[in-house]
Amino acid sequence: MNPQLQNKAPVAATIFPQAFWCHDLISTRDLGPQGVQAVLHLAEIMKSRPSVFQRTLAGKQLVMFFEKPSLRTRLTFEAGMASLGGTAFFVDQTHGRIDAREKLSDIAHNLERWVDAIVLRTFAQDTIEGMAEYASVPVINALSDLEHPCQALADYFTLGERFGDLTNVRLAYVGDGNNVAHSLLLTCACLGSSIRVATPAGFAPSAQIVADAQEIAEGTGAEIELMTDPCAAVTGVDAIYTDAWASMGQEHEADQRAKIFPPYQVNRKLMIKAAPNAVFMHCLPAHRGEEVTDEVMDSENSMIFEQAENRLHVQKAILYLLLGGAVRLPARSAHA
């Protein structure tokens, strides 16, 4: 083993002295139930008391390589790092894959000598896994074709703010069994929550991801159901979630998918089958009029912008824990 990798584990944050943590965030599976709980707990504290953490990552540097366009992911990582006192650098890789000019291992061994963490937004999950294998600094998955862990963590943080105890929350995801669906399944499993995923035949989530989520669920009591009927999936749930029918990199399939997915559109007719106070969720960007109607997107029950805001707080928590931030919170007043 590379001797640098042996020292890769960060110092545990003093507010989580016993918390389990991981070297990298490549998959929600890296966190496990304890890690997911730690992220959400810390994100809640950071959101309510940001000033306490202003200089906790002073002197730390983050580099972001993005093969895909981004609004929320890029800005929330940059703003989050700056608010913790660190610095973020952005490298636009939308013109070509990260390893097009040189071996990924060579890139990793350069980066580990310059920066404290690496954020990747890529097509291939293998790219992120390879960077984590070779780099001695933490690597964060900011989206791949397989998973989107930061998004799902922010989504469940948002649900927790609205409904409280996540073990009682029922979420329905309707649409394509894509990277977002994968990370929602894994995060739900870690939290002991409940999820139904409805997809057209042939568009179900990865069998391996489902198997991993079910294995985690055996220990947490989570409930996972896969189906093809969107109406059955949303009946009585607390939240309905959808995503684009064709993800980035699947644009050539858009016309074909547009013929298959209309029954999975989230519209008023589908929303009324959910619980009376059910909310709507979407990771954005949305294709209005396709996977969701304007009426639902702009309704009082839409939480899309709360989700977007909470990307910032969750990613700050991830950065803090991965980079060994340390702060002792002052005791709360009895009247606080």
- Which residues make Cβ contacts (< 8 Å) with residue 132, sequence separation at least 6? 23, 24, 26, 139
Catalytic one of 29, 72, 74, 121: 121
Q: What is the CB-side half-sphere exposure of residue 4 using CA atoms within 13 A? A: 12
Give the whole-angstrom CA distance, residue 35 versus residue 190: 9
282 in catalytic set: no
Catalytic one of 283, 307, 313, 315: 283
188 in catalytic set: no
250 in catalytic set: no
Single-letter amino acid, residue 277? N
- Which residues make Cβ contacts (< 8 Å) with residue 222, sequence separation at least 6? 188, 189, 190, 191, 192, 193, 194, 195, 213, 216
41 in catalytic set: no
Give the whole-angstrom CA distance, residue 111 versus residue 2: 15
- Say if residues 206 and 226 touch (Cβ distance below 8 Å): no
The burial class, CB within 10 Å (0-12 / 13-18 / 19+), for 85 is middle
Catalytic one of 176, 243, 265, 282: 243
Pairing of strands 223-227, 239-242: unpaired
Helix, coil or strand: residue 145: coil
Catalytic one of 29, 72, 74, 148: 148
Catalytic one of 37, 93, 151, 307: 151
121 in catalytic set: yes
User: Of 146, 152, 215, 155, whose CA–CA distance to 177 is shortest?
Assistant: 146
148 in catalytic set: yes
Torsion angle, CA of 258/264/270/274, rounded to 10 degrees? -150
Catalytic one of 72, 282, 311, 313: 311
Give catalytic residue positions.
121, 148, 151, 243, 283, 311
